[in-house]
């Protein structure tokens, strides 16, 4: 069972991912910056899950 704050934080990270995708679709963000941002969000999410398991 995960703590409530991790579920909220993962939801926020997911919403940020959606916003990045929308900005990429409308050409307000370059592809390189979009990929870097998405990778950083994924790494941050994985770090959160790792910290919870410790």
> Each residue of 1-11: pLDDT tens digit?
778 888 899 89
H or E element, residue 5: helix 4-25
The whole-angstrom distance between residue 28's C-alpha and the CA centroid of its chain comes to 18
Per residue in 9-54, pLDDT (tens digit) is 989 999 999 999 999 999 998 999 999 999 999 999 899 889 888 7
pTM of the predicted model as reported, rounded to 2 decimal places = 0.82
- Burial zone of 6 (CB within 10 Å; 0-12 exposed, 13-18 middle, 19+ buried): middle
């Amino acid at each position: 069972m995960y703590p409530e704050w991790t579920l909220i934080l993962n939801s926020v990270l997911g919403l940020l991912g959606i916003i990045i995708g929308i900005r990429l679709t409308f050409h307000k963000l370059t592809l390189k910056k979009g990929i870097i941002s998405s990778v950083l969000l994924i790494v941050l999410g994985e770090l959160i899950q790792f910290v919870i398991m410790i």
